[in-house]
Chain A
Amino acid sequence: NAGVTQTPKFRILKIGQSMTLQCTQDMNHNYMYWYRQDPGMGLKLIYYSVGAGITDKGEVPNGYNVSRSTTEDFPLRLELAAPSQTSVYFCASRDRAGEAIQYFGAGTRLSVL
């Protein structure tokens, strides 16, 4: 029962570097989401996808890109890392049916120095 798997768990980047945060789910869920969590701010939606080939912006998309080529994978790309992107990133997924429950991965803790 893997659920939603995120890699890496931790990463330190230098300003201007790029990286991809990986997210994979094995529940055949159509919907996938990326959030960032900052202290005292709750979770903010970055991007989401309602199915393979379909993505849309959330509340805080600037500085990020996503793609959804398969149902299972929803990578998040940081092209030019900035200190403001220091955060904990969570990926989530949900089924098309059901009661809107989102299932979360364990998170990626990213520091940009």
Chain B
Amino acid sequence: AQSVTQLGSHVSVSEGALVLLRCNYSSSVPPYLFWYVQYPNQGLQLLLKYTTGATLVKGINGFEAEFKKSETSFHLTKPSAHMSDAAEYFCAVSEGGNDYKLSFGAGTTVTVRA
């Protein structure tokens, strides 16, 4: 069984500053890893994913994440925050198999200060 821990339920950053959202997981098999973003009153939108191959993955809107197997982590970063990055971010893990069920972290809400 897998579990996902997102450190910090709220993160506040200044516009132009680094955004760092932490995600650690536990999984009995090599996982598929995802970051989703949810803007207010909207559904979830995929930011990026790791399945196999290169451990540094780039996503939409300038975000990237690095899969570190030894640390069981998949932290999300963006070098320079923009006001439009204010949203809730979810890390999710799938162990694959026939149903590809996702386990989600509790989410991190990002606010961006002008």
Q: Is B67 an interface residue (CB 8 A)?
A: no
* Docked CA distance A100–B99 (Å): 9
Q: How far is the CA of A31 from the CA of B96 in the complex (A)?
A: 13
Known contacts: A42-B107, A90-B43, A90-B44. The answer to whether A102 contacts B102 by CB under 8 A is yes
**B106 touches which of A35, A41, A45, A58 (Cβ 8 Å):** A41
Q: What is the interface residue range for chain B against chain A? A: 20 to 34
B90 x A31 contact (CB < 8 A): no
Residues of A within 8 A of B4 (CB): 42
Using known A-B contacts A42-B90, A104-B43, A106-B42, determine if residue A99 contacts B49 with beta carbons closer than 8 Å: yes
Q: Confirm or deny: B46 has a beta carbon within 8 angstroms of a beta carbon on chain A.
A: yes
Chain A residue contacts of B46, Cβ below 8 A: 101, 103
A24 to chain B, nearest CB (A): 14
B-contact 0/1 string along A63-100, CB 8 Å cutoff: 00000000000000000000000000010101000011
B90-101 contact mask (Cβ, 8 Å, vs A): 1 or 0: 100010101111
How far does the Cβ of B43 sit from chain A's closest Cβ, in whole Å?
4
Whether the pair B98, A50 counts as a contact (CB closer than 8 A) is: yes
A23-50 at interface with B (beta carbon < 8 Å): 31, 33, 35, 40-45, 48, 50
Per-residue CB proximity of B15-46 to A under 8 Å, as 1/0? 00000000000000000101010000111111
Q: Does B14 contact A (CB under 8 A)?
A: no
Known: A100-B49, A102-B100, A105-B43. 19 other contacts (CB 8 A): A4-B43, A31-B99, A31-B100, A33-B101, A33-B102, A40-B107, A42-B105, A42-B107, A43-B102, A43-B104, A44-B104, A48-B99, A50-B98, A90-B43, A99-B32, A101-B49, A104-B36, A107-B41, A107-B43
Query: Which residues of A does B touch, CB under 8 Å?
Result: 4, 31, 33, 35, 40-45, 48, 50, 56, 58, 90, 92, 94, 99-107
